[in-house]
Amino acid sequence: MVKLIFGVDDTSPPFMEELNLLQDFCNKFPKLKVTHFVPACYSLKSFSLFMRGLKKILPLNAKKIIFRALDPQSEENRIDLNKEFCTLFKKEISKKRFSAELHGLTHFSPENLSAEEFLYRDKEEIRKKIEESIEIFRRAKFPEPKVLAPPGWGVTTNLLAVLKEKNLAIAGSMTSHALSARRKSKGAGLKNVSPLFPERVNGVLNIPRNWDLKEGTIERAEKIITLGGLIGIHAHIAPIGVQNDVNKENLSNLAKLLEWLESNCSEVQFMHFREVIQ
């Protein structure tokens, strides 16, 4: 039995077009389950100064997405206040095709002009941000979140302590390195955890991601299967500072993997991250 999870980071109201593309993709692969890591109130506002400096060098597509997200009018980035987003998600959640998990309150640290919202924060500040995010999920009538993907991969012992307290798991590591049964994660986020299996760190269950939507290959998937691991696909909803975004080309890379699994593995279990915990 091969287990496969698919996590998409940064999903939020500015990215409805990308969500629609993903829905079309899911129609072709009806067993696929997509876990979205959703900032409760995605904010790029504090990034604006930094972005002004960057705008000359950014590709047009990235600029369009960023400026859409930067719209100073929009409280719409708060998930419970965006009807279109809530409706789409509730429908997809009821079909069990999408699930929504935590990815920070705003995904930004105004003090550091960085995406690592939880870095340099004490437990009290982290607790407040997580509680506020959970409250916004509640108001959006989303199921109680069970997992957090750390915004910008900023993981600290303070963050792990609060996650333990709240009984939340973490999708905290991504590795693109060579895999072996004993090797620990050297990729982004949590270091020194298994890149193949869920593993507890400071009392918090880490769910690894090990197959990049753009760079992942069939050979890598075969290696993961040979080692008995879980295939954890990693993607972002939009191309902001990343290349593994949900676009046609990257999705066709995933399609190749899914077709290969279909013909080469007798049983594939598609799971949400929250189902890995149970």
Q: Catalog residues that contact Zn ion under the rule CB under 5 A.
A: 9-10
User: Residue 143: in which H helix or E strand, if any?
Assistant: none
Nearest distance, CB of residue 153 and Zn ion, angstroms: 8
Nearer to Zn ion, 150 or 195 (CB): 150
Nearest distance, CB of residue 242 and Zn ion, angstroms: 9
The residues near 235 (Cβ < 8 Å, ≥ 6 apart) are 6, 7, 8, 9, 212, 213, 244, 245, 246, 250
Q: Helical H runs in 71-117?
A: 83-94
The residues near 1 (Cβ < 8 Å, ≥ 6 apart) are 267, 268, 269
Nearer to Zn ion, 9 or 18 (CB): 9
| DSSP sequence for 21-37 | HHHHHHHHSTT--EEEE
Nearest distance, CB of residue 139 and Zn ion, angstroms: 22
| DSSP sequence for 229-254 | --EEEEEESS-SS-S-BS-HHHHHHH
Distance in angstroms (rounded) separating the CA atoms of residues 199 and 203: 9
Q: What are phi and psi of 86, to 5 degrees?
A: -60, -40
User: Which of helix, strand or coil describes residue 47?
Assistant: helix
Nearer to Zn ion, 3 or 175 (CB): 175
Nearer to Zn ion, 117 or 224 (CB): 117
Nearest distance, CB of residue 107 and Zn ion, angstroms: 6
Nearer to Zn ion, 23 or 114 (CB): 114
Nearest distance, CB of residue 236 and Zn ion, angstroms: 7
Nearest distance, CB of residue 178 and Zn ion, angstroms: 25
Nearest distance, CB of residue 189 and Zn ion, angstroms: 11
| Encoded tokens for 20 | 């629609």
Cα distances (angstroms) measured from residue 95 to each of 25, 61, 70, 194, 234:
15, 31, 31, 31, 22
| Encoded tokens for 13 | 């109201």
Nearer to Zn ion, 41 or 221 (CB): 41
| Encoded tokens for 187 | 């990729």
Nearer to Zn ion, 3 or 236 (CB): 236
